[in-house]
Each structure stands twice: as C-alpha cells, then as structure tokens.
Amino acid sequence: MRKCIVLDLDNTLWGGIVGEDGINGIQLDINPPGSGFIAFQQAILDLHNRGVILAINSKNNFNDAIKVIREHPNMVLKENNFAAMRINWQDKAQNMRELAKELNIGTDSFVFLDDDSINRSLVKAVLPEVEVPDLPLNPEQYAKFLMDLPYFDATVITDEDKMRGNLYVTERLRKEAEGRSANKKEFLIDLNIEVRCYMDDPSCISRLAQLTEKTNQFNMNKIPFTEKEIADFILDKNYKVFYGQARDKFGDYGVIAFALIKKDDDKNWTIESLLTSCRALGRGIEEAFVDKIVEKAGGASIEDVSLNFKETEKNQPAKEFYEKYFDKKTGNVLGQKLKENSKHVNAYFPSL
C-alpha cells in the first residue's frame, strides 16, 4: 500500500510546457491529447477522494504553473487537492525528501508519476524505495494505466481513509497559520480545537482497530486489536473503551485517539492501551483526551488511574508524554498537569 502520489506537471497533468506555451497554449481540452490529461486528472481525483494524498514535484516557474492550477477552466485538480507542492528548479530527489518531511511520511509511501525518463531514473537511483512506474507514451492511456496500478487497493476503507487526502491539505493550512502567529500559545488558542469523546460506543470499531494496527509514535503499549476484540471489550463489564474525534477551525481530524481501560477493582483503573494519531500530536489533544478519561473515572468514584507503558523503538513521543503526565513510581496519572496543558481545548462527551 502507498499513501501518496507525487505528480509532475508539464506533459503529465497537461500537455506541453507552460513556461513556453503559456496557459492558453497547453493541451487540456476535450480533443486528444488534451482529453487524455483531463481523464487522467479525474482518475487521480477519484483516488484522492478515497484518501490518497496528492503532492506536486515539478521543475517549473512557480507563477506559471500555479496560474494553470488556479485559473485554467479545464483543470480537474485544484490547489486545495494538493497537500504539498515543490514547484522549482531543484533536484527532484531532493524535492521528494522535502515533501516527505513536510507531510511527515516516509519516502516509501510515495508513487512518483513523471513523463520524463531522466527524472524517473534519477529518483529511482537516489530513492529506490519510491515507486516510479513508467508512464505510457500516449496520454490517452494515462488514466487506465493509473487505475491498473496495484498500490492503492484497501480491503477496508474507513471514513478517515476517505478523508486522508483532505486532512493533509488542511494540515498545510494549519502550518501556514502557525507561521503567521506570534507564538505557539496564540496559535493553539486561535485553532479553536474541539475533542468529542466517546465511551463504549461501537460505531467506529473499524477505525479503532485500524488505529491500533497502524499507530506507532504515540502508542503507549503497541497491541493491535481486531474489530471483534474491540467489540468484545465494549461488552465486557471489566473494561471500558474510549475514543476521541477532533476538529478545529480548519476542519475535521477524524477519529484520532483510542484507549482501553481495565477496571482492576472498585477504586482503580488501568489504561492498558492509549494511542493518538501522529497528525494530532502537540496541540493539547492527547492531554484533553486523557483528562476526560480521568474525569469519567472520578465520576465513577475511581481513586487512581494508572498506565501500562511499554517502550519501543518508535514510540518516543509516547514515552515523553508518559514521563510528563504519569508518576514514575506508581504509574498514576497527574491529573492537574493534564488539565493545565489542555485548557485551550474544548473536550466533552456529547449528550446522547
């Protein structure tokens, strides 16, 4: 499975070279070969609507290229479909590394589509983990070629999968807003973050199972659960299943947090599994989520909430959170500290 399609522009998304032919001279219309590029863009958009991330890696004058994307009447793909863009004269392999860093995904998540064999060969040589298929010579065959690629099939597609491409676009908007803010605190307050928390709600079991399988960085105890196992925990009186869904002024993050609680006795809860999607980290969302679990425990007359933490090679963010918010000797949560660092987040359990 691959997460992201990285696209060239000239002779890939449209026919011709915009820097030489101009916006009115490129081939992007109902007649061949322009019609092939339109069909190709629609096929890409279909994948984007299923959750595939889109990015641009083009050797071009930025102003010429962005004018086509923003203004050409036959462009199917719009600026807000792209999570990141590198439109410059820099080495395409270096651009690829920068895109991976910006998107916070590995270069092994990329499929690179470029009509130019020299650029393809360069990326293959420098970044062999990137999939670089050879596009057909005839653009009328581009769309079918894309649909036949084996990289994007998914056995189970959750709502979050479908949202993924847009999630990366809105993340770009957040980073741009953060760059304009005077400081991190002002930025977080201005985001107007809201976290809706749910307990023993079976409506998102597929997504929760997916989170336990895929989440590594902020995962306190890496235990993948099946949908059946999570459903069984929800029905088991000795366990509680929590999840959180976040959103802010830029859009919906989707379901991004999960916790499995074991009721040890009438006075103690143990968090056996706690994780948050990496796209939500560092904004107080994880603190707010755990704080609402602690509040729910208090409402049930629970005196201590502790956490089972197991260090892995990949969960350094989880380790830092554990050391900051849980007593190192007892494992018990430091509730007041959680509350203080999440007060800019409106977290709640919706009324049913």
pLDDT digits 0-9 by tens, 12-22: 999 999 999 99
- The runs of H, that is alpha helices, within the chain are 18-21, 34-49, 62-71, 92-103, 117-126, 142-148, 159-180, 184-191, 205-214, 227-235, 285-299, 316-325, 335-340
33 upstream amide cis, omega within 30 of 0: yes
- Rounded to an integer, what is the distance from CA 2 to the centroid of its chain? 13
Q: How far apart are CA 255 and CA 200, in angstroms?
A: 14
Q: How many CA atoms lie within 13 A of 278 on its CB side?
A: 12
Q: What is residue 155's predicted lDDT score, i.e. its pLDDT?
A: 53
pLDDT digits 0-9 by tens, 226-272: 999 999 999 999 999 999 999 999 888 889 999 999 999 989 999 99
All domains in the chain, ordered by first residue: 4-148 (3.40.50.1000), 191-348 (3.40.630.30)
pLDDT digits 0-9 by tens, 144-167: 999 899 998 655 567 767 777 777
Q: How many CA atoms lie within 13 A of 217 on its CB side?
A: 12
**Model pTM score:** 0.70
Q: How far apart are CA 243 and CA 245, in angstroms?
A: 7
As a whole number, mean pLDDT of residues 99-120 equals 95
Q: What is residue 209's predicted lDDT score, i.e. its pLDDT?
A: 95
Q: What is residue 51's predicted lDDT score, i.e. its pLDDT?
A: 84
Confidence band (pLDDT; 50, 70, 90) for 331?
A: confident
Task: Using the structure block, give the residue that is written with the tokens 């208090």.
Answer: 298
As a whole number, mean pLDDT of residues 79-94 equals 96
Q: What is residue 165's predicted lDDT score, i.e. its pLDDT?
A: 75
